[in-house]
Structures are given as structure tokens and as C-alpha cells.
Copies of this chain bind each other. A is one copy, B any other.
Amino acid sequence: MFPASEDDILALVNRHFPEDHPSLSLGRGDDCAVMLPRGPLAVSTDIFAEDAHFRRSYFTPYDIGWKSLAVNVSDIGSSGTVPTGFSIGLTLTGKEDIDWISQFCEGMSDLSLRFDLAISGGDLARSSLLNICITAWGELPSALPLGLRRGVAQEGDVLFISGRLGLARLGLTVLENAVRKGADQEKKQWPDACSQHLRPMPLAMEGRTLGDFAVKKGLQDRIGLMDVSDGLARDLPRLLASQKSGLGADICICEEDIHPEIRLWCQEKGHDAAAFVFEGGEDYALAGTCPREHWEDIAELLSTFSVPFLRLGTVKKGNITLNGKGLLSSGFDHFVS
């Protein structure tokens, strides 16, 4: 059954998302929602567009709803807090039936519930491609008025990661191959990889824990954090502000730190698994830097979460090296083919 009008779609949204939320003084349904922030507000916008970020052939509507929000939650997490709300610009093609939209809402709402997010509203339009643009925000402690950010690393700092690198890249590769060959059973061989690509779990709780730790220890300007979305190869120079700072890092990714699916796949294909992990893409992991003397405390905090974490290496002047070798790769750019 096809939705008849904008009002029908809004009725579906209203079934999945409560209109009110403690962080909003005025909820959905007016020209504006009104929020009542109690501190600095981290804000981030991400697009999730058909054929640029996902394909309908292997993303279910649920996956699309989930991931389009997850990529934003991840950004807020990397500033050192959990999000409190979001708004959505949803461009549908008019081919999505009520069932499709319901599942989409369900995926988004399931993630939203995990973080108790307000959906403040948004806009609907019709075009020839699906396009989801979400702006999310999160309240920071007043003692963290800039959030955790990039570019605070110093020589000798520990470089660490929370989350799984390379797994989403393998998922993408497997899913794209399966489409090309029409070989759906391949997906079942690489379940963690496919799931990491389709339904990444954003690490905002981990981010907030690091933000709180920074405040507690007065390290607001000494703990760096970012979300790794374009692959570590591309994002690491951003975290280190390498162009300005001249900083690089010696990175070690050992065999035992690499997810078994990646190891197996790289073995079969004759690829260097560490390089595959390092180039990655869409990891939605958190990469951070901290003074060496605080690493043990941070490691202890990160060990309380179920997602793996890793000391990747040490920040130093000069280039980035991986397992002793210099690096050239530059990660992903939407506008370079």
C-alpha cells in the first residue's frame, strides 16, 4: 500500500517517535521545535544518500533508518558526549510504500531509543533518489566547552582506537561482490563484516566516558578524539593536524588485533591485512590521542565496554608508518573517482 500524502507519512513517523522529550520545550509539529540546552551543544550534520552511501539492493529499509542516524550519533560521540536529539531531512522517491517507511522508522527508532534521542522534526521532499540528511546535537559538560577535538596531540602521546577498523570495508566489499555476482550466500560467510557495514553501533557512550575523564583530569586540551569515517589512513592526519603540526605516528597493527573475518579474507585474496584495516572506511570507530601517563586509566575505562579497543602506537614528528613501513594511501573522497 502506497502512502497517499505527506500527512500519512507524518502519521507513520508519529507512531514510531514520541512527539515530546525532556530536552524539548516544544516538540514536533510547529515551524520550529524548541530545545532547552543546559550547556554547550555539539552539533553535526551528515548525509546518507542512495548510491553514494548505500544501495537498496542490500540495505534493508531498517538498515537505512539505523545507519543514517548512526553516522551522526558517532560524530557527537567523538566530541565527548552522547546526543540528545536530531532532526531529519528525508527525500523519498515516492516508490516507498507504507511498509518500507515503517521499517525505515523502526531502524531509526531502535537506535534512537538506545540513546533516548528527541526527534525535533524535519522536512519531507520527493526526488528521484533517496537522500537522508540528519543534524544531531548533544549537550556537553560546561567544563568541556569545545568538546573533545582534533589537533591536540603532542609528540610522545599514545594513539588509540575504540571500535573495529577495516570490518565495515570488508562488509562493503563482500556486499558489492554479492550484488555483482548475484551470490547472496557469500554474505553468510562474513556475518560480522556485513553487519558492521549495514548496522554500525556508534560509540557515543565510549566518547562520553572519555569526555568525562578529560573533565575530571583537567585534560580538555590534551585528549584528542575523532570518529574514523573515511578510513584511518585518511582520518589520522586530521586527528594529528599533521599539515600544521608536522606530527605523524608509528603504528602497529598486529595479526591478533585483526578481526578473524578480515584475516581470513585477506589470506584468501593475498592482501596485506594490516594495510586493509588501516585503509578501512566507514569504521565509525573513535580514534584518540592522550598523554602517555594517562593511557592506563583510559585503557581501563575502555575495557568496560564490549567493543574492542587498541593502543595503536605513538605520536611522533614526521611521517605515519604502519608496522615499520611508510604510507601513501589517502582514503576515500566522494568527488574523486
Contacts and interface: CB of A to CB of B under 8 A. Distances in A.
A143 interface: no
Q: How large is the interface on A (under 10, 10 to 19, 20 to 34, 35 or more residues)?
A: 35 or more
A320 interface: no
Contact of A89 (B26, B45, B51, B127): B45
A40 B47 CA distance: 26
A121 B43 CA distance: 9
Q: Which of A44, A92, A122 has the most CB of B within 10 A?
A: A44
Nearest to A134: B89
Interface stretch (A1-9, A188-196, A262-270, A308-316): A1-9
Counted per complex, copies of this chain come to 2
B333 A5 contact: yes
A336 B29 CA distance: 20
A132 to B, nearest CB: 9
Given A50-B127, A131-B127, A133-B47, A79 B335 contact: no
A47 B335 contact: no
Interface string A5-24: 11111000000000000000
A35 interface: yes
A205 interface: no
A44 B25 contact: no
Contacts of A47: 89-91, 123-125, 133
19 contacts: A25-B146, A26-B146, A30-B147, A30-B150, A31-B44, A32-B78, A32-B79, A33-B42, A34-B42, A43-B120, A44-B87, A45-B89, A45-B133, A47-B89, A47-B90, A47-B91, A51-B127, A52-B91, A52-B127
